[in-house]
Amino acid sequence: MTESLVHEGIDVLVKSRHFGSKDELLDEAVRTLLEVKPALKTEIAVELYKKSTISLSRASEIAGVSTEGFKEILASRGIVRVVKAPSREKIKKEMKLILQE
């Protein structure tokens, strides 16, 4: 299927009211693609994690694996995880709260 035919098909499906908008059509198309090719979920999760868009926990959910399993996926791809520690100020505030109780 050529690119122009795909674009024309999208326009036809939206104009014929099979979909409310191009975005709605694309959402459904991507969901269907991910059902057919679930490995793509892992690719999405890895890339979003690398960009710090999502947490390790959320990435593992998207990929459909445990957190430990996702850590293994990252390690197998040579992706180094960076664990961010809370700031000194935040730790002090939390300690004050704990000691007040």
Query: Can you give the pLDDT at residue 3?
Result: 82
Mean pLDDT, residues 62-68: 97
Say yes or no to pLDDT of 82 above 80. Answer: no
Q: Please state whether the predicted TM-score (pTM) of the whole model is above 0.75.
A: no
The total of structural domains in the chain comes to 2
Shared domain for 25 and 63, answered yes or no, is: no
CA 15 to chain CA centroid, Å, is 31
Task: Please report, for residues 18, 40, 66, 86, the alpha-carbon distance to residue 37 in angstroms, rounded to integers and kept in the order given.
Answer: 24, 6, 19, 38
CA–centroid distance for 14 within its chain = 27
Rounded Cα distance, 27 and 3, in Å: 18
If asked whether residues 9 and 58 sit together in one domain, one would say: no
Residues 53 and 76 in one domain: yes
80 is in which domain, residue-wise? 38-101
In this structure, the answer to whether residues 73 and 30 fall within a common structural domain is no
Say if residues 14 and 22 touch (Cβ distance below 8 Å).
Answer: yes
Residues 25-48 have pLDDT tens digits of: 999 999 999 999 999 999 999 999
Looking at the structure, do residues 47 and 86 belong to the same domain, yes or no? yes
Same domain, yes or no: 31 and 48: no
Are 43 and 88 contained in the same domain? yes
